[in-house]
Amino acid sequence: MPKLTFQDAGISQEFETGARILICANKMGVKVSQVCGGDGACGTCRIEVVEGWSHLSPPTPDETYKELEEPYRLSCQTQLLGDAIVKVAKIE
């Protein structure tokens, strides 16, 4: 099972392949903003991928529409396919 690490929180946990990172964060007790409830509409659940970009699902249309580029993803749209290290992105 893939391991997800939130670098800023200093915690790691294994999840089923295909788990959405926002759901993983909630289960790990990591606070990630989610104004739209995880529908990909608001863009507030951004994460920064520190390591493992290739171990995540490809960017969705919701992400490309918001012009998010590496290393940023929307945690509600991103599925864990392998080990990854991320941190909650600060929205400016």
Domain locations in the chain? 3-88
Q: What are phi and psi for residue 49, nearest 5 degrees?
A: -85, 115
pLDDT at 92 over 70: no
For the residues 61-86, what does the mean pLDDT come to? 94
pLDDT tens-digit map of 3-62 = 999 999 999 999 999 999 999 999 999 999 999 988 888 999 999 999 999 999 999 998
- Which range among 11-20, 26-35, 67-76, 83-92 shows the weakest confidence by mean pLDDT? 83-92
The CA-atom distances, in angstroms, between 92 and each of 27, 43, 46, 78, 89 are 26, 12, 11, 21, 9
For the residues 62-71, what does the mean pLDDT come to? 88
How would CATH label the architecture of 3-88? Roll (3.10)
Rg (CA), the chain: 12
Higher pLDDT, 64 or 30: 30
pTM of the model: 0.94
**Four-point Cα dihedral 20, 22, 23, 26, nearest 10:** 160
> Confidence class of residue 74 from pLDDT cuts 50, 70 and 90?
very high
Handedness of CA 29, 31, 33, 35 (dihedral sign): positive
